[in-house]
Structure 1
């Protein structure tokens, strides 16, 4: 699993829009008006840091999705179809 430096969470901002935050960070790495734009920005940040995880939350704070960004180590890689 990747370290926290290469992990970003896409979370709702209480004032509107979506923030990209590193675990334990007080301030967001980025802000976007839509969740999709925040996910794209988080993926870009993680990819530039050498790969890792993007964790997307629902508006209520629950985790909605987690995505491994290459060259990160995916704990659940897709199975090869033969």
Structure 2
């Protein structure tokens, strides 16, 4: 996880959290995954982050970049 990533994962105390890569604490906590997803996307758009939505099993279900992606991609 880099500092330019936001991950939505289950919170250890229940609910869901949005956490930036390398952070010790969550940026926010939400009751539902849908609410956490919406907040993470809003923050991703504001800050140019890549947002990864994880399932309960920890696997990435969805990933979108809201940063300055080069087009066409290099390589």
Tell me the TM-score normalised to structure 2 length: 0.80
Which stretches of structure 1, 4 residues or more, deviate above 4 A after TM superposition? none
CA shift digits 1:1-39 (9 cap, x unpaired):
xxx333200000121110000011110011111111101
Tell me the TM-score normalised to structure 1 length: 0.74
The CA RMSD over aligned residues, in Å, is: 2.3
Aligned to 1:73: 69
Aligned to 2:9: 11
Q: Displacement, 1:72?
A: 3.4
Q: How many residues align?
A: 72
